Structures are given as C-alpha cells and as structure tokens.
Structure 1
Amino acid sequence: MDLSRLLDPRSIAVVGASARPGSYGNQAVANLVANRFPGQVFGVHPTASAVHGVPCVPRLADLPVAPDAVVIATPAATVPGLLAEAGDLGAGGAVVFAAGFAETPGGRPLQRRLRDTALRYGIPVCGPNGNGIVPVHARAPMWGDACVLGTPGPVALVSQSGNVAVNALASTRGLRLHTVVSCGNQAVLDAADYLDTVAGLPGVRAVALYLEADGDGAKLVRALARCAERDVRVVVLKAGASPLGADAAASHTGSVAGDARVLRAVVEEAGGVWAHHPHELLELAKALGYARRAARPGTVVVTCSGGDAAIAADEAHRLGVALPALSEHTVTALSAVLPPQATAANPLDYTAVLFGQVGPTADLVAHAGADPAVGTVLVYHDRPADLDTAAAADWDDALAGVVAGAKRLDKPVLVASTLPELMPEPVAEALVDAGLVPVAGLREGVRCAGVLHHPAADPARLRAIADGATVPGAPGGWLSEHGAKELLRAAGIRIPPGHLAPDADAAVTAARRVGGAVAMKLNDADLRHKSDAGAVRLNVRGDAAVRAVFDALRALPGRGGTPVLVEEMCAPGVEVMVAVRRNGLVPVLVVALGGVWVEVLDDAVLVPLPFDAATVRDALRRLRAAPLLAGVDLDALADLATRLAALARDADLDLVELNPVIARPDGATAVDAVIRRRLHE
C-alpha cells in the first residue's frame, strides 16, 4: 500500500467532528487548528455546520475533494462502512481511534470487516484502537490526545504503544520529531510497514521503534534493509522477554534464544541499536538522528568533576565503550591549559578552577577531541533551571566554551547532564541549534557516545536474511537421538560410532564393536533431557558393566521396552552448543558454551541465516567464553554449523540442537542431538 498521502497529507477530513469537549472528534479538529495545519481541513457531522471554525458537511461523499487522510472518530461499529465511503471517494488513507476491535474477543469479527474493507479498496489504515499519526514536519496531527507540536527534526517514532508515543511528543529533551505513529491494533498496517515508509521520507535520519509483537520477520528485515540503503539509523525497544513456553522446557535453545533475543540479533545485524527502556530509546534515537557517524569507536570524556569522571569511566567499562589513552601530543596540549592540580587523561577532569572560562574550556574540548584515537567527544554539563543572574552567567559561559571547542572539531560532540532534569529544554534546543547533541543522563551519555561509530549494514545481506525467513508452520514431532544422528551422519556431521541395542546381548555386542569405554542412553523421541531423567550413563567398561547398565536403564519407569543407544566415548574437549532455530522471527544459528553451562552462563551468540564459515568463526570469538576455545579447531566448528544450517533448511526442520559438540584440536563431534520437524498448515 502507498502510505505517502497518509503520512504527508495536504487535506484532512475528520469524521465525527464534534463540539463536545473531551471527545476524540473535538480534540482531533482542535489539534489541527491549534497547530496551524497549512492544508485543507473538513469536518464530517450530520448536523453541525462548523467545529472550531472548521466547516462541516453531513457525509464524506459531500466533501469537495478526496482527502489525503480521513480521521475516523466515531464508534467502532460505524468504521467499516465509513472506510468504504472513504474508498469510494478516493481518500489516501485513514486513522481510526475507536476501540472495541480485536483487543477484545467480541470485536474480532468487526476488525476482520475493517481489514477486508481496507484491502478491497487498497486504503491504508492506522489503527484501530490507537492514538493516530503526527507528521510533525507537515504540522498535521491526526491525534486523539491534546498535542502541541514543537520544531520538526530528523527523528521518527513508530510505536506499538500509544503511551510511549504520547510521552515522546510531550517530552522536553530537545527531541525534534519528524513523524510519530501509534500503530494501535495493526489491523491493516504494522510497524514494519511504517518503518519502511518513514525511512524514505525526506529529512528522516533515525527511527525509534517500540515493539510489543515482532510480526512478519521477512517484512521487518526488508524494512531494515531499506533503512540501511538510505543510511537511516534504527533504535529498537522490545517489551517482554517472550519466553518460548514448551520450547524453553524442551531444549536449551529455547531458553537462550527466545524471541526478543532473535529480534535483537536481527537489529544488530541491520546496524541498529538495542534500547532497554523508553528514556534510552529516545536519547539514542536523538543522538543518531543529530550526530554524524563517528569515524572510530574511541570516546573522550570531558568534565569539571572528578566524581563524574570516575562514574563515567565505570559506566564505559560496563557498557563496553572504549575510552582510549590520549597521545603524548594531546597530553602536552592539554597540560598547557589545565590548572596545576589537574591531570591530562581520559576521562579529563579539568576541575572547577576553569569552570565558566570560555577560552580555556574551548581549548580543552578541541585538544581532547582532536586526539587521533578519539571518534566522539562526550562533555558533562549540568544546568540547573533556577539560577540567579551571576550564577547563570558562569554556567552559560561554561557551555559557550564547549560549543566553541566543538566548532573546531570535525567529530560528533555530545553534551550530557548527569541527571536528566539538569538538561532543561532551552539548553537542549540551543545545543541542537549549535550542532551538538544534548543527552539527558550520565549513563545515557556514555551509551549514546558508544553507538555513533556503528557501521552501516549491508542491504544485500539483510535481503538474504529476509528471503530465508521460513513460512510459519506448527512444530512437528521430535526425533529420537538415534534418528537425529542418522540425519547428521548423512549431512556429513561427525558423530560418535554407535549402535542401537534392543536387548542386553545386543548392547554387549555393540560395546565390543565400539571398543573401550562407551556411553549408554535410552533412545526415545520423548527423552530430550536424558541427564535429568537418569537415562544416560557414561564411561561404561566391560561386558558385565554394560549388562548392568542396560538393565538399570530399562528399569526406569515406563522404559521396559525402550532401546538403548551404545556409543563410543568421545575424547575430552571443550563443550559447545550449536543449534539452528527456524520457528522464530527469522531462522538463526545459536552458538554457546555447551553442556550444563548453557543456561547457567547465559553466554550465547545468535547469527541470522544464511551465513558463511567466517561469520561462525567471528560469532565464536564473540562469546565471553571464547578464551576456552583457544587451541580447538574453529574451522571444524564453523563447517559443522554450516552443514547444520543446510540440513535444517533442506529437511525442513523446526529445531536442531547439538549439545554438546566436543570441540578439539582435531575436529568437532556432536555427541548429543535434539531435532524437531516442522508441520505446515
């Protein structure tokens, strides 16, 4: 669908325009009038001649033009019919405020009628049960709450929460929004549709995306590819950890690669940034929208407080933001400006002695920022709102020095307060006008500085991920370990030699054929955590021991007829989990330290499919446990992972988990396997 008229309207009709205070129809018209929408505005009301000075007509069909956008502020039951009228008229799109649709069981049929009508006419619809759309750049608030628009800027917000969008519009943080969308029930358009469209709007440089449901993975990744093509930065906040229920109980992969983690892997693959709460979402989007991309990752922190310097250093360490040591040349230049009691270092505490001195402050910022290891400058500056004239002059001069120093640099400069309320709106706006980035909060300052160097993503890689996204299918049946390993063997993945034994004599024969110590396991499709069930014994030697273990395993409740898998004991090595999950947002490879440590350490890296061996090797090196892999054959692990992904695709498997894979200098062996097939509707 073409959203261009809806997101940049020149004419708007409000159906349900009302003189009744507190109604959506009243507020929608009031917003357009108060914010001086420059286009045509019409009200639609059966009897009123005007609302807030806006002329009204009885029906949509009576309008003199086909409006670019129709705001429907009437009860839910009327909406499908009004959409049909808008479609007959040739309207460009609609915003629906009303609740009473699929958010309640009784409203689902009505939402289906709304959707069917919209699709029949090809008319894009925002909502229902949402706050609407605010194209700030066009001063066109199609919004159900009171809304006062500020200066437009480069940041778009697409939110599956109406309140997140309401708060963003009301915030005082120097956040100059371009377009705000509250998705509502997403009956016709979802967050990916809006992301794809706003990425192409002139003036948009960053998008804040608040999600509660992932939606169509392929469509979302294609929207991210469009953002990458246009160098539009994306920040994502996902609500809810999205546990996988039965998956989490049935496999280790489900507990370490939940839906939110898969989404995060996709976002990071797209060069995006992951936020943890709404405040951080908006600060990150603001920084990415205002600042140029940093050439390198290093950040220098400049402050007049030793405490702020120490805390910033601690936060940088926690967040993985590099604070490089300054060069000898930089130290010499800074030392010529600093008072005797200050030390030229990073973080740079220039002390209160120089606070309020424009020239020295400018020199310090310029010298520190010019260091060749520095990509971004982060200056801490708190500005209390209520200051007398003399005190205000000192604070303002200190900031003037920062601005003057920033003008001598060709690098992004951020100015952060230590507490959010110490970055007043007038100061933030002045900083934006001067080309700097205002950030509300000490930790947020470090976080924003740490993401400005992220490179742009490869759109072709993102489209390959989207093309590989699987058609939704229900989970199928689990395979027994022996059945799973037969698939692995056929795919060229190394597994221990072994045999299936239906009785004790066959178990002894199998152990003799394998030779040496063996592992013995009950083999049934419903046994996926064999250690927890007592269904596996290791290092079994000799005929008598094999018979005794066989009898003990078969004596477990309900296992009297279960065959036993007898396998060679694999030589010790590093235990790694390698898995492919294809039932989430997009198919992903999961690598983690294996065995019992998977969930305990929570140390996993996810890679969207497709991938090559080099990508797997890089993923292994990103594990916190990577030092344990020193000396093992990473090429063998990478080859195993690529073969596993191909097997999952070709055999249409829902989940394949190898845990553990024993990694050694001489190769990699899958000693346990869990596989589930997929079913299609």
Structure 2
Amino acid sequence: MSAAPEQPPAPAAPPRHWEADVLLRDGSTAHIRPIRPEDAELLVDFYSRVSDRSKYYRFFSPMPRLSDRDVERFTKVDHDRRVALVLVLQGRMIAVGRYDTLRAGEAEVAFLVEDAHQGRGIAQLLLEHLAQAGRERGLEKFVAEVLPDNSRMIQTFRDAGYRVATEYEDGVLVLEFPIDATDTAIGVMQGREHRAEAASIERFFNPRSVAIIGASRRQETIGQTLVRNLVNGDFTGRVYAVNPTAGAVSGLPAYKSVTDIPDDVDVAIVAVPADAVQDVVLDCAAKGVHGLVVISSGFAETGEEGRQRQRRLVGLSRSYGLRLIGPNCLGIINTDPSVSINASLSQVMPPRGRAGFFCQSGALGSAILEKVQNRGLGLSTFVSAGNRADVSGNDLLQYWEEDDSTEVVLLYLESIGNPRKFSRIARRVSLRKPIVAVRSGRTTQGVPMGHAVRKIAAPPAAVDAMFRQAGVIQVDTLEEMFDVAQLVAHQPLPRGRRVAIVGNSDALGLLAADAAAAVGLVVNKSVALGAEAGAEDFEDALDAAIDDPDVDSVVAVYIPPLNVSGEEVANVLAAIGEQSDKPLVSTFLGVEGVPELLRVPDVAGSTAGRGSVPSYPAVEAAVRALARVVEYAVWLRTPDGPPPSPDEVDGDRAREIVGRLLGDRPGGVDVARDELRELLACYDIDLWPAPSVSTLEEAVAAGEALGWDVVLKATAEHLRERPDLAHVWRNIDGPDHMRDAWASLHELVGEDDSGGFIVQRTAPPGVPIAIRSLEDPLFGPVVSFGISGPMTELLADRSYRIPPLGSRDAAAMVREVRSAPLLFGYRGADVVDVGEVERLIRRVAQLQNDIPQVSGLELGLVLAGPHGSTVLSAEARLEQVSDARSDWFVRRMPTQPGDTLPS
C-alpha cells in the first residue's frame, strides 16, 4: 500500500493586529481583516456585485465569474509572500486588496472595490494596511499594473504620499513605489484620518432628522425628557418618536420601530433597556441611520457582564457602519441656531458661545451645563460620551479643529484611551485654538469603572508633560477650567508675563500682586485709584496701562462705594476690553463669569462677543487664570525646531544591530556595554569605554590600554551614585597607584561583593545628569531628564517628554527640573554646555522613537561640563515586539481590552 501524499504545511496565522475596525472617508465604519479560506462564498457573492468595467480594470480581460480554482487561489494565502485583506460591512465583503511577492523586497499589489462603495477612500485604506503588512514582512517596494484609463486607481497610488515612478509596458501603466513610511506618507494618512473622523462627528451635530427610540408618554422618564428637550430646544429638523406600544408621544406620532419611519433618519437617540439595545442597532442599520447616541445604562459601568455587553454593542455597531456615542451618556447639544439640537437629558440649553465641551461623566454633565449658563460663557457644541466606548475626545478634537464656530476646546477627561494619538492631534489643534483640560485621577491614576483602558507604564508626571508639550492648558478643577475658558473665549492672548494692576482697593491690589508673583507673572505697573475713583479715573488709568509698552495684560479691580451701581465703570471696562489688543480681566463687584454689564455684542449670535471682560469673585482666581493663559501664549510663540534629520544618524545600522542582538530571543536581552557603545554611536552618542576587571592584573592592563590617568570604580548597586564618591578612586597614573586603589576599594567593598569593578579614563569635571527612555504600551516612546543622584530619585525631580522632540521640548526639559540652577552657574560654578545636554536628550529621544524594540535605555551618568558632556555609563534592554506602533502607519479604530473583533 503506497504512502499517502505529504500534505503541504498549513499557512501560519496572520498577526492579530492586521484585523481592525476602520473609518471610511464619509465617517462611516467598516472592518478590515486578512482573507480566510472560509471566505469563498463571501468572495463569490462580492464578485457577482462588481461591474464588468471594474472587473476588466482589475484583470485586464473580461472575467464575468470566478472559477473554483480562482476562488481557492484568492482565499488561500500564506500571510507572508502572499497577503490579502478584505473589507467587510454588514457581513458582506465590499473590497479586497492583495499583494504577491515577486522577488526579495518587492511585491505586486492590486485592489477590487465594489462599485457601490467606490469613492469612499477604501482603496487608500487597503493600500495603507497592505504597505504596513509588507513592511513587517520585509518588503521595500510595491509595483502595480494599471490600465491607462483607470484614472481613479492611478490617482489612489499618486495620492498615497509615496514616491511613484511610472512607465508604459505593452499598453499597461506600470507604477513602482517604495513603501517606507516617509513623513509625507504618514502626513497623507493622518490627513485622511482627520477628515474621516471629523466627518463622522459632523453627522451627529448637524442631523436633519432624529429618532428617539424609547420615547415615553410617562412624565419624569428618560424617554419623555429626551422628547421634551428636543422639542423645547427648537430643533430645526424632524423628530420621530419610537415606542412599540404607544400611538403618540408628546403630540408626535409614535412608530413601533425605527424601520417604520417613512423618511430618512440621520441620528438615533437610544433610551431602551440595555439588553434591547443590540436589536435597536440592527433596526437602525437596516434603516440607514448614520449614528447612535446611547443614553441607556447597564453596560461596562455595572461589571463584567456589562463590559461584555458593551463590547458586543461596539462591535455590532461598527460592523454595520455606525458610530456610537455612549453608552451611559448624557447626550449631545449643538447651539447653532440653524440646528439648535438638545439631544440630551439636560433641560438646560446653554447659550450660544465659542467653546466646544467634551466630558465623559454623564453625572457631571448637567452640572457643567448649568455652570456654563450661570457664567454667561456659552458653548458651540457639547458632548457627554459616558463610557466612551467608541466616540472619544480625539474624535471631537478632529471635528473642532475645523469648526469655525468653535474657538476654544474644553475637555473633562476621566481616562485617556489613546494618549499617543491625543498628543499628536492636540499639538496640532493647540497651534490654532486653545485647549483647556481637567484630568481626574491624576494622582491616583484611577479610572471610572465603565472605561476600559490599558494601563500606562509611564509615571503620572509623563502624562502631565504630554499635556504641556502639546500646548494643552491643564488645570486642576472645573472651576479653574471655566476661569480660563472665559478669558481665552473673549480676550486676546497676552504677549508676555508683564502685568498692570489697576483698582480702587489697596488691599485687593496687594493680593493681586502677591498672587501674580506666586504664579510667575511680573507686576510692572500698579495703580491705586482710591475708594472714591469714578469712571473717568478708571478710563485714564486703564488707557495708560494698555498703552504702556512694558505691560502685556491688565487686571482691573472694582469694589464700589455704598449705593453705587458701578454701571459707568462697567461701560468703561467693556469699551476698553473691546478695543484693546491686550487681555483685560477684572474683579468687578465680586461677580463670577461674564456679567451683562461687561459684555460686548456679538454679530455671530453668541451671548458675549469678543472683547467682553471676564470677572472673577476673587482676584487670585483672575491672576491664576491669566497665568495659565500666559504659559499657553509663551508656548505658542516659542519656535520649535524640527526633530533631528534622519540623515544625521544611522538608523538603518542601529536597526541592524538591534535585530542581530535580539535574534530569536523572545524574552528579550540586556545589551552588553560594547554592543551598546556600537548602538549609541549610530546616534552620535559616545559612550566611554569601561572594561570590567576582576583581578589586579586585569586592572593594570586596562589602565595601560587606556593610557593611564584613569579611575577604578566599584559597580555594586548599593554604592552607585553615592554623593561622597567613596567607591571611586580617581587619577590613577600607574601600576603602583592602581595597586593602592585596588586594595583600598576592596577593603571598602568587601570580599563578598558581586558587583565587580571597572576601569575608565578620568573625565573632566561636570554636573552629573541622567537621560532615560522607555517604550510605553500606550504612549510609545517616553524620554526623561534629571540631575543624577539619590536626591533626584527621592524627590522625583525629573522632566518628561514624548518623542519626536524639537529644540523647544529639549530646552524645556533641561530648565523645568527644580535642580536646573546647577547647570547655569549656581553659586559661582561654571555654566555647563547646555546645548550639548539638549543634543543628547534629542538623540536619545530619536533613538527611542526610531526603534520600539528598545524597551528601556538609560544614560545613567553623564558629566555635563562647560565644554561638552561625557557619557560614562549606560544600560539598555531590548524586547521583541510584534505590532509596535503599527497604528502610527495605518488608520485603525481603537479596541477595548479583551475585544473580539467582528467578522
């Protein structure tokens, strides 16, 4: 009996991160994943819906149907040399893209998109994900053959941001392009991401029709409140009530299901029991609804069962192309008179204003809206995201960046699901609009139960640094957020830190001056007008302060005498505030907010126009808010040089070294000193040689090899960074001197020490500093700086930044540690070469940014002197990573921990 033929090995499973939810150009969702053998039926069905013209463009010949052999060839790939990705929507395949390796480093790429879905950016998405898969598989270049009249596909390749070369061959256009992730290609991808995410949010804020699913006739119910708020808020679109048992709700005809509504529905507000929400999703998908606002509770905030229900809700919504706000949320508001939608549980419709507000807490949402109304601040739009299962603050930032009616962004954050993306978007938005943020749990790192986020390995100080680096005005309380918001929404930004104080109360003037000094402002002018000062006195003093070139902002204090309304002084403040190009803040009658007397009319319909003067009940609050805005203005006006050019380092060589050192070590490896010297040299960091020695003879030989004038140093952990330097013997200039040093240090260390000794050249004197970096699973690269020594560790005196770093970030890192004066001539010492310190920080940041396999790097002892820096010790660890930062190079929607992605 002959042996059975040997079966080919089964193809390896594709990487898990190749599967993701994605956002299309129009703001709807879909699912991308590797093709599977069991997709044969889906593929045949998909191909039957593709037009003959699209088939011809794909295969260059009529091909009306796929043979069984074709189906098998297209669905069975090895996920290495042959990779195919499909886009799935509502359980149907709507596009497929693939590459087939031609030769080492090169593959041919092709796409086919169902005609009904062309023009939605699907080919660009498939190309991004195929290019990332190709890079992970060692590919360097894609080629594509395209018919000359297939202009849409040609444009897809040209718009991708890659360098495309073309040539004609037998009547076919051959495109070739390297797929390395250039800054241009990444910029193109991020631009598409921005437009898609903004479009998805625009659908929520500007609906033409809204269905309330769970509308109720019973008073004091959620369903009744939603209907009443929509109608009373003068929504300009159509409102539909959905209730399977009622004929009408609040005068509106009621439909048994959203599918029974005869007209289109843009947004559905869902207020049904949690276990019924999934059926609502299916009905909304069948109806063609664009987005869901799920008010219903009973999801992740209730425990594990609720978390599973929430994961299924998000997966189902995205698989049917729907975006989701909530669940367990308060709702959304748009005060634009052309929309005027209050699709929330709050009976307060805030006045029209310039601020967009995002919060996660539904419980706080109503209180926030009441506070906004009481202060006369006004909002453009408002979102309470609840459990933030899908739509997040990042999505709102993308929308508000281009929204002309939003000039200030307010964020109340209880968790950050993707801080790396937040940092990138916030940096860009802050250049155009101020972002004011409160982040709860800063000290405890606590996260509300409904928020499924991964743990951040970086310390809390790194998160605060990320906000500063992005230009975000981070404040400690909601009250302080409103204090800052009413200033940036109505007054110009200051040019600097110099302040004038004008008032009719000496006591409050002194309090203002003390508060200014405490927050880093400089009082250049203080005018005490006396208790009887009138409107003319204030006008003269304020005009003089505004016109003074040594004044950047003005604080006005007015406490009226008895039986005086202060209206005349208010008119003066409002007139000067409207005309001034410098910010004017006030403590006017102890009023909080933007009082009517100090408001300037606004042509755009806002409650208070530009130039309105904010008031604070306490002068300290006014000064604190002004100081926050000054810091933002300084950040905005400080030029930031670009990160180091890739041409200045040898990144390819560094990656080769890392690949060689890691090899097949799944557990990672600590890098030996000589290999670390080689790696650091690729980034122009010179780690001084320090041979380890275990005997006196080896120590003498090392001293001779280094040319003497060396040090002998004990490396035991408990001796490192000792301020008395007892474990270091300096200036050894020969064998005899080395013998004395060896004997003395052995006596200090003891015979049982396992730390050993090293020999090193004597370094020039300098201030000891330490530069570290790590790879955080959420942040990606993080870099820190501080003065070396145990006191720095005890006091946590370190600064942090998120690479890539420009010159502004590196300079700020050096200067913001409390021990920074040691670098700038403290007590008559030499000023160190700070430029070289900044260069080292930027080089370490660039290395960490370029090579995610570096799980940690520490330049533990660098001596910074007046003529340069000497890197004396360094350590590094490498670890294998499978999907490191893949979301930097492709668009993918975030998943929650433990998510099971839909088919």
Residue 181 (structure 1) shift: 1.2
Partner of 1:340: none
Take 1:414 and 1:675, find their aligned partners in 2: how far apart are those partners?
Answer: 51
Q: Deviations over 1:163-197 (max 9, x none)?
A: 44322201111211111111222211111111211
Residue 60 (structure 1) shift: 0.7
Q: Give 3-state SS (helix, strand or coil) of 1:497's partner.
A: coil
Are the aligned partners of 2:490 and 2:609 in contact in 1 as well (CA < 8 Å)? Answer: no
Q: Kindly name which structure, 1 or 2, has the bigger radius of gyration based on alpha carbons.
A: 2
Residue 522 (structure 1) shift: 4.0
Structure 2: tracts of 5 or more residues without a match? 1-26, 28-199, 447-454, 602-607, 652-665, 731-736, 825-830, 883-903
Q: Deviations over 1:382-402 (max 9, x none)?
A: 58xxxxxx9564333332332
Greater shift in the superposed pair: 582-591 or 102-111: 582-591
Residue 238 (structure 1) shift: 1.8
Are the aligned partners of 1:244 and 1:258 in contact in 2 as well (CA < 8 Å)? Answer: no
Are the aligned partners of 2:694 and 2:756 in contact in 1 as well (CA < 8 Å)? Answer: yes
1:214 aligns with 2:416: yes
Partner of 1:658: 859
Relative to 1, partners in 2 of residues 1:577 and 1:434: Cα closer, same or farther, differing over 3 Å?
Answer: closer
Partner of 1:596: 790
1:128 aligns with 2:327: yes
Q: Give 3-state SS (helix, strand or coil) of 2:341's partner.
A: coil
Residue 433 (structure 1) shift: 5.3
1:73 aligns with 2:73: no
CA RMSD of aligned residues (A): 3.8
Take 1:7 and 1:191, find their aligned partners in 2: how far apart are those partners?
Answer: 15
Residue 503 (structure 1) shift: 5.1
Are the aligned partners of 2:212 and 2:268 in contact in 1 as well (CA < 8 Å)? Answer: yes
Partner of 1:83: 281
Partner of 2:437: 236
1:353 aligns with 2:532: yes
Are the aligned partners of 2:570 and 2:598 in contact in 1 as well (CA < 8 Å)? Answer: no
Take 1:613 and 1:3, find their aligned partners in 2: how far apart are those partners?
Answer: 35
Partner of 1:406: 577
Partner of 1:93: 291
Partner of 1:331: none
The correspondence for 2:384, drawn from 182, 187, 192, is 182
Q: How does 1:466-615 map to 2 (within 5 A)?
A: 478-479=670-671, 484=676, 487-488=679-680, 491-502=683-694, 505-507=697-699, 509-510=701-702, 513=705, 515-516=708-709, 518-522=711-715, 530=720, 537-539=727-729, 542-543=738-739, 545-546=741-742, 549=745, 555-556=751-752, 564-583=757-776, 585=779, 587-600=781-794, 602-612=796-806
1:166 aligns with 2:366: yes
Take 1:570 and 1:150, find their aligned partners in 2: how far apart are those partners?
Answer: 65
Relative to 1, partners in 2 of residues 1:359 and 1:642: Cα closer, same or farther, differing over 3 Å?
Answer: closer
Q: Deviations over 1:582-605 (max 9, x none)?
A: 325353432323322424555444
Relative to 1, partners in 2 of residues 1:159 and 1:382: Cα closer, same or farther, differing over 3 Å?
Answer: farther
Relative to 1, partners in 2 of residues 1:529 and 1:281: Cα closer, same or farther, differing over 3 Å?
Answer: farther
1:436 aligns with 2:607: no
Are the aligned partners of 2:578 and 2:600 in contact in 1 as well (CA < 8 Å)? Answer: no
Relative to 1, partners in 2 of residues 1:218 and 1:602: Cα closer, same or farther, differing over 3 Å?
Answer: closer
1:640 aligns with 2:840: yes
1:318 aligns with 2:508: no
Relative to 1, partners in 2 of residues 1:623 and 1:282: Cα closer, same or farther, differing over 3 Å?
Answer: same
Amino acid of the residue matched to residue 182 of structure 1?
A: S
Are the aligned partners of 1:573 and 1:662 in contact in 2 as well (CA < 8 Å)? Answer: yes
Greater shift in the superposed pair: 504-513 or 101-110: 504-513
Partner of 2:133: none
Relative to 1, partners in 2 of residues 1:19 and 1:120: Cα closer, same or farther, differing over 3 Å?
Answer: same
Are the aligned partners of 1:496 and 1:569 in contact in 2 as well (CA < 8 Å)? Answer: no
1:117 aligns with 2:316: yes
Q: Give 3-state SS (helix, strand or coil) of 1:610's partner.
A: coil
Greater shift in the superposed pair: 282-291 or 643-652: 643-652
Relative to 1, partners in 2 of residues 1:24 and 1:545: Cα closer, same or farther, differing over 3 Å?
Answer: same
Relative to 1, partners in 2 of residues 1:513 and 1:241: Cα closer, same or farther, differing over 3 Å?
Answer: farther
Relative to 1, partners in 2 of residues 1:22 and 1:577: Cα closer, same or farther, differing over 3 Å?
Answer: farther
Residue 510 (structure 1) shift: 3.7
Relative to 1, partners in 2 of residues 1:183 and 1:477: Cα closer, same or farther, differing over 3 Å?
Answer: farther
TM-score, normalised to structure 1, is: 0.81
1:227 aligns with 2:429: yes
Structure 1: tracts of 5 or more residues without a match? 246-253, 325-345, 384-389, 469-473
Amino acid of the residue matched to residue 400 of structure 2?
A: V
Q: Deviations over 1:286-309 (max 9, x none)?
A: 221222334444332222111111
Partner of 1:369: 546
Q: How many residues are matched?
A: 627
TM-score, normalised to structure 2, is: 0.63
Residue 70 (structure 1) shift: 0.8
1:305 aligns with 2:489: no
Greater shift in the superposed pair: 83-92 or 575-584: 575-584
Partner of 1:445: 622
Take 1:154 and 1:485, find their aligned partners in 2: how far apart are those partners?
Answer: 54
Are the aligned partners of 1:158 and 1:195 in contact in 2 as well (CA < 8 Å)? Answer: no
Q: Deviations over 1:115-145 (max 9, x none)?
A: 112211222211112222122333312213x
What percent identity do the matched residue pairs reach? 25
Partner of 2:81: none
Relative to 1, partners in 2 of residues 1:626 and 1:464: Cα closer, same or farther, differing over 3 Å?
Answer: closer
Take 1:240 and 1:613, find their aligned partners in 2: how far apart are those partners?
Answer: 31
Relative to 1, partners in 2 of residues 1:622 and 1:85: Cα closer, same or farther, differing over 3 Å?
Answer: same
Residue 204 (structure 1) shift: 0.4
Take 1:48 and 1:418, find their aligned partners in 2: how far apart are those partners?
Answer: 53
Residue 58 (structure 1) shift: 0.7
Take 1:550 and 1:491, find their aligned partners in 2: how far apart are those partners?
Answer: 37
Take 1:425 and 1:410, find their aligned partners in 2: how far apart are those partners?
Answer: 21
Residue 359 (structure 1) shift: 2.4
Greater shift in the superposed pair: 451-460 or 296-305: 451-460
The correspondence for 1:395, drawn from 555, 566, 591, is 566
